[in-house]
Amino acid sequence: MLVKGSEKRIFTVAPHAGMALTGLLADGRQIVNSCRDEAQQYKRFYGQAIPGKMLNQRISSYIQYFTLHDSVRPFGSSVILASYDKSGPGLYMIEPSGVSYGYRAVAIGQEKQVAKTELENLDFTTITSREAVMEIAKIIYKIHDDVKDKEFELELSWVCAESNGKHEHIPEDLLAEANKVGKQNLEADQFGSDEEMEI
Amino acid sequence: FFLSHLQRNMGPDQYTHTKKMGTLPTKQEAEGHADWKDAEHRMGTSIMAVQFKGGVVLGADSRTTTGSYIANRVSDKLTSVHDRIYCCRSGSAADTQAVSDIVRYYLDVHSAQMGEAPEVHTAATFFQKLCYDNKNALSAGIIVGGWDKHDGGSVYCIPLGGALVRQPFAIGGSGSTFIYGYCDANFKEDMTRDECHEFVRNALSLAMARDGSSGGIIRTAIIDENGVERFMLPGNQLPTFYEN
C-alpha cells in the first residue's frame, strides 16, 4: 500500500554533494538539514563549493556535539556523505559518535557486514560509475532476505563526471537496468552459479 | 541676458567676485595649503599584476603621500597574505593594511582547517567581502595575485566598490590611467616569466613618469609553484622611453 518513491533516504545537500541515511530516519533528516545549512554558509563566506572533507569535518563536529550534553541525545542515524570537488570524488561515513573516515567503499545499516564483504571484491582502481551502479544493485538484491525483510525499493544516486559533478538520483533508465541486473544476478545465484561477482 | 551673465560670474555672495581681485590671503587660507601636516596617508600609486605561463608577476611603485608630501618614497605596496598569495594595495594606506591583515588571518585559519594551501580565489573572495560590506568606510583598491595548484597563476581585481573580477592582467591606482593603452597593446597570453617581468616594469615605469602620485622604485614579486621571488628596481635604473 506504500506509495513508491515517497520515502527517500538519499538527499542532495549541496549541488556537488549527497547524503544517504540509515537508522532513525527522522534524526537523519535533521542531519541533512544541518548539512545543507553548512554547505550554503560556506559558499556564502568563501565564494566556492564546500570541499568534501570540510563538509565531513563540520558535520562530524556537529554530530559529536550531541554526545557532550545530557540535555540532548545523540543522533540515531549513520550517514554516508558523497561529494565531488576539485580534488575529485570523496566518500565519508559518519557515525552517531561523530567519528568519521574517508572510504573507497562503505556500507551502513542492518546488513552492513555482508555488504562490506561483497564490496571488498570490487577493484576500486578501474571501476567506472556505471559499473559501480550495477555492482551496488547486485549487492543490495543479494543481501535482501525475502523472508525476514519487508519488500524493498532500490534507490540509487551518484555524483560523478558523468553527472557533471552534480549529485542526483540516477536516470530512470539506468535505475530500471540496475533493478534488472540485480534481479538477474540473484536468479543466477539461486541456480547455483559461481559465487564470484562479475566485475 | 546681460544681468544673468554677471550673476553667473559671481561667487557665493554678491561681494566675493570683487573681493578676490585685490586682497591678501588670510592666515587661515595660507595655512590651508600645508595639508601635509594633517592629511591621511594615501598611496596614489601605480600597481599591476599579470598572469603568465606558470604563475603571476605583481608590481608596484613605492610612493606614499600625505597631501603633496612624500611620506615614504620606498614603500612596499606588495603585501603577502599567504605563502603564494600577494596583494597590491592602492588608496588609503591604513585601510589597505587593515584589510590585508584581516585577510591574512582568515587565510591562516582556513588553510589550517583545510590542511592545504588556500586558493587565490578564496583570498580574493575574502578581500571582496570586506571591501564590499564596508564600502562606505573604506578607500581601498586591491589587486590579488598568486599561485595555487587548482588554477595555477591567477589575478583578481577588487576596485573601490568591492566588485570582484578575474582578469589575465589587472592595473590599478592613479597611475594606471596612463597605461591602459600600453598594456592593451603589449599584453600577450602565456608570456614567459622574464617577458612578463619586463612587461610589468615597462608599464609601471611609464605610469610613474606621468603620474605625480607615483614614483620612486619599482618593486616586483614573481609567484609560481616554487614560491615567491622579490625584486627591486632603483629609480635611476628604470626603463626610459620618450623623454621631452
Query: Would you state the pLDDT for residue B32?
Result: 54
Summarised one tens digit per residue, pLDDT across range B12-30 is 554 444 444 456 656 656 5
Out of B113, B121, B125, the one facing A54 most closely (by C-beta) is: B113
Those residues with Cβ within 8 angstroms of residue B52's Cβ, 6 or more apart along the chain or in another chain: B153, B190, B191, B192, B193, B195, B196
B107 pLDDT exceeds 60? yes
Query: Would you state the pLDDT for residue B6?
Result: 46
Strand partners, B171: B48
Cell of B11: 561667487
Q: Cβ of A48 and B128 within 8 Å?
A: no
Torsions phi, psi of B17, nearest 5? -60, -45
Residue of B nearest to A52 (CA): B114
Please report, rounded to a whole number, the percentage of residues in chain B having pLDDT higher than 90: 77
Residues on chain A bordering chain B, Cβ-to-Cβ distance under 8 angstroms: 45-48, 51, 53-54, 57, 86
Strand partners, B83: none
Summarised one tens digit per residue, pLDDT across range B147-176 is 999 999 999 999 999 999 999 999 999 999
Query: Would you state the pLDDT for residue A166?
Result: 95
Q: Cβ of A47 and B119 within 8 Å?
A: no
Among A92, A94, A197, residue whose Cα is nearest residue A142: A197
Residue A96, min C-alpha distance to chain B (Å): 22
Query: Would you state the pLDDT for residue A148?
Result: 72
Distances (CA, A) of A32 to A79, A86, A110: 9, 22, 21
Residue B169, min C-alpha distance to chain A (Å): 21
Interval B42-54 mean pLDDT: 90
Query: Would you state the pLDDT for residue B9?
Result: 45
Query: Would you state the pLDDT for residue B22?
Result: 55
B212 pLDDT exceeds 60? yes
Active site positions of B, annotated: 45
B10 pLDDT exceeds 50? no
Query: Would you state the pLDDT for residue B28?
Result: 57
Q: How far is CA B33 from the centre of its chain?
A: 25
Q: Cβ of A47 and B125 within 8 Å?
A: yes
Residue of B nearest to A54 (CA): B114
Query: Would you state the pLDDT for residue A130?
Result: 93
Average pLDDT per 10 consecutive residues for chain A, totaling 199 residues = 85 97 95 96 93 96 96 97 94 96 94 92 91 94 78 91 93 94 82 60
Strand partners, B69: B66
Q: Which of these ranges, B57-61, B140-144, B212-216, has the smallest mean pLDDT?
A: B212-216
Which residues of chain B lie closer than 8 angstroms to A48, CB-CB? 119, 121-122, 125
Which residues of chain A lie closer than 8 angstroms to B114, CB-CB? 51, 53-54
Kindly tell me the number of DSSP H helices and DSSP E strands found in chain B: 7, 13
Return the ∠ at Cα A55 (arms to A75 and A84), rounded to 5°.
Answer: 120
Distances (CA, A) of B156 to A47, B23, B51, B159, B220: 14, 53, 10, 10, 17
Residue A95, min C-alpha distance to chain B (Å): 21
Query: What is the identity of the amino acid at B52?
Result: F
Alpha helix stretches (DSSP H) within A3-99: 25-46, 52-65
Strand partners, A85: A88
Q: What is the ipTM of this complex?
A: 0.76
Residue of B nearest to A53 (CA): B114
Q: Cβ of B125 and A46 within 8 Å?
A: yes
Residue A82, min C-alpha distance to chain B (Å): 18
* Residue B129 forms contact with A (CB below 8 Å): yes
Q: How confident is the model at residue B37 (pLDDT cuts 50, 70, 90)?
A: low
Query: What is the identity of the amino acid at A51?
Result: P
Torsions phi, psi of B65, nearest 5? -115, 150
Instruction: Kindly report the number of other CB atoms within 10 A of residue A30's CB atom.
Output: 14
Query: Would you state the pLDDT for residue B156?
Result: 98
Query: Would you state the pLDDT for residue B25?
Result: 57
Summarised one tens digit per residue, pLDDT across range B124-137 is 999 999 999 999 99
Q: Cβ of A45 and B129 within 8 Å?
A: yes
B1 pLDDT exceeds 50? no
Which residues of chain A lie closer than 8 angstroms to B115, CB-CB? 53
Report yes or no: B56 and B50 within 8 Å, Cβ to Cβ: yes
B3 pLDDT exceeds 50? no
Give the length of chain B: 244
Please report, rounded to a whole number, the percentage of residues in chain B having pLDDT higher than 70: 83
Q: Find the farthest-apart pair of alpha carbons in chain B and give their distance in angstroms, rounded.
A: 77
Those residues with Cβ within 8 angstroms of residue A154's Cβ, 6 or more apart along the chain or in another chain: A137, A140, A141, A175, A178, A179, A182
Q: Is B144 helix (H, G, I), strand (E, B) or coil?
A: strand
